[in-house]
Amino acid sequence: MTSQHSTVTHPNDPLPMIREKALWMRRRAFRMVYEARLGHPGGDFSAIDTLATLYFGVLRYDPAQPAWEGRDRFIMSKGHATGALYTALAAAGYFPEDWLNSYMQPESMLNGHPNRNYLPGVETNTGPLGHGVPVATGIAIAGQVTGAGYRTYVLTGDGELQEGSNWESAMTAGHRKLRNLTLIVDRNRLQQGAETEATNGLDPLDDKFRAFGWHVEMVDGHDHAALLDVLGAPVGAREKPLCVIANTVKGKGVSFMENQASWHHGIPNTEQFNIAMEELV
């Protein structure tokens, strides 16, 4: 059964739109965190360029038909970055922008971690780290079994990769040659309390994924053109899942937040909020 749908069409040159949306997302997400006095702005800002590139240059979806079976899937495995995810979904048209005002408020659809039963466009509930890659692997296996043409994208944090579940499913995906599966690692080199390499080091991360049967690309995770190149490229003859290691900066775009572990869940005061708004132009 095919439902009625009209897939979003990305412009021939989506870069200006991606740039505009990424800027709007940063400003809007920061306002959400400022007003709710809660959130994870550091991880929002390292991921926003990836999300803007996906939603405005890569993914095939119809916000009016969120359950359209042919849609590309995106899973935000680092579910704490709801500032990035919710602004992306609102900008993509899944729900009205003014829903963002209710972020974290009593009985809001916009919980601190995404809930698919509340919000269209959320594929699976995340928040505990290490759940997105197994679920994405299952979605990709379903696509392989049914011959559906959709692609599955999943974004994890880098600290998140310390969870063993990621590696179990990475083995499965490599073993099954899930060519329609793409894992993007937000490689900002920081986790909650410290640097990943000082806590439980991941390097050489690319070699690890290659050894698990993945094709690996490294990219500047804030360079929209470079992201568009690797994420938007057709699968072609590749017979392996794709791992994109996006080298990013936690807190990217706001001088005092960049590379600071304390901004993992830091909350801006009014002065900081105003400085950020001046810088995010």
Backbone angles phi, psi at 59, to 5 degrees: -70, 145
Please report where in the chains the tokens 């119809």 appear, as a residue: 62
Q: Which helix (H) or strand (E) holds 22?
A: helix 15-36
Q: Residue 247 contacts by C-beta under 8 Å, 6 or more apart in sequence?
A: 187, 218, 219, 220, 221
Contact 216, 209 (CB under 8 A): yes
Binding site for Mg ion (CB under 5 A): 157-159, 188, 190
Q: Is 260 in the site for another protein (CB under 8 A)?
A: no
- Scanning 176-245, the segments in alpha helix (DSSP H) are 196-199, 205-211, 224-232
For residue 215, give the 3-state DSSP assignment: strand
Is the separation of the CB atoms in 260 and 250 below 8 Å? yes
Residue 114 to residue 70: CA distance in whole angstroms: 22
Type of residue at 122? V
Q: Which is nearer to ligand TPP, 93 or 127 (CB)?
A: 127
For ligand TPP, the closer of residues 163 and 223 by Cβ is: 163
Q: Which is nearer to ligand TPP, 66 or 253 (CB)?
A: 253
Binders of another protein in range 22-41 (CB under 8 A): 36, 38
Q: Does 188 bind ligand TPP (CB under 6 A)?
A: yes
Interaction between residue 43 and another protein (CB under 8 A): no
110 binds, among ligand TPP, Mg ion, another protein, none (CB under 5 to 8 A by kind): another protein
Which range, of 60-68, 83-91, 102-110, 235-243, touches another protein by CB under 8 A? Answer: 102-110
Site string for ligand TPP, 139-158 (x = CB under 6 A): ------------------xx
78 counts as binding ligand TPP under rule CB under 6 A: yes
Name the site residues for another protein (rule: CB under 8 A): 36, 38, 79, 104-113, 115, 125-130, 159-160, 162-164, 191-194, 196, 199-200
